[in-house]
Amino acid sequence: MLKGAKVGLRARHEEDIPVLLAELYNDVVNGSRSEGSPWRPLVPGTKDPRLVGDDSDDKCVRFSVVELEGGNLVGTATFWGIDTHSRSAHIGIGLLPEARGKGYGTDVVAVLCHYGFTVRGLHRLQIETLADNTAMLRSAERNGFVREGVLRSSAWVLGEFLDEVLLGLLAQDWKPDRDA
């Protein structure tokens, strides 16, 4: 398990899937805002790759996020679009509703940076998020990510086009939290 100050990132466990399915993926608003494709309900027992890890996919790593104190599941973290030639990847997180606003997002981003730069030896990490997702923007910027641009009206979300913000962080600019 990768550990931060508040959370740990571990492999997806079978018992995580029903919780994530009910609280994240079958939530129409959350699903519409977090995916680049139209929301659709997922049935119990689904083998949807967003829920079920695939160890053979070298372009994507999916983690379950747990509280260090107590071990409760609080969300997901994804390391995707891994490009071993250019040494880059994208990151994304999804926190369960009751876990939001507790500083977990900033810690998850920090742990993903450690994974990307220290464990994987990558050069660049990137985040794309909706312009009104202030929690993700704050979490990214607290970890050193820089806003690199706005993709105007690039995301179709529940009947309207929304702007997305592109953020990037280079290994040389990353300042790991030595206490985490």
* pLDDT per position as a tens digit, 45-92: 777 777 777 777 889 999 999 999 999 999 999 999 999 999 999 999
pLDDT tens digits, 107-125: 999 999 999 999 999 999 9
**Percentage above 90 pLDDT, the chain:** 73
Q: Which domains does the chain have, with CATH numbers?
A: 2-173 (3.40.630.30)
3-state secondary structure string, 65-117?
EEECCCCCEEEEEEEEEEECCCCEEEEEEEECHHHCCCCHHHHHHHHHHHHHH
pTM of the model: 0.91
